[in-house]
Amino acid sequence: MKGYFVLGLASLCNHAEDPNSYVEWIEDEVGVWSHLIAKKHIKTDEEVTLFYTNINEYPDGETFVQFLD
């Protein structure tokens, strides 16, 4: 195995056309991290949703897709 891709909490979110959160990508000396950010107040027991994006918007998306094949 030459790599891995972990979304953390973002992997628990469902898609929505009008989501209440988004993923912000942060790169540091250790790697690339996905930060789950609320776009508005999310009530207790309310589902956290994202707009699933094109894989090309993910860091190194082309390599990631090739790795999955």
18-36 tens-digit pLDDT? 999 988 888 888 877 888 8
Q: Is 2 domain-assigned? A: no
Is the distance from CB of 38 to CB of 44 less than 8 angstroms? no
**Which comes out higher in pLDDT, residue 56 or 49?**
49
Per-residue confidence at 60, pLDDT binned at 50, 70, 90?
low
Is the distance from CB of 48 to CB of 28 less than 8 angstroms? no
Which single residue is written with the structure tokens 């999310």?
A: 42
34-52 tens-digit pLDDT? 888 999 999 999 999 998 8
* Res 46: pLDDT: 96
Is the distance from CB of 51 to CB of 15 less than 8 angstroms? yes
Range of the domain at 57: 8-68
Q: Rounded mean pLDDT of the chain?
A: 77
Q: Is 1 domain-assigned? A: no
Split into its structural domains, the chain has a count of 1
Q: Is 55 domain-assigned? A: yes
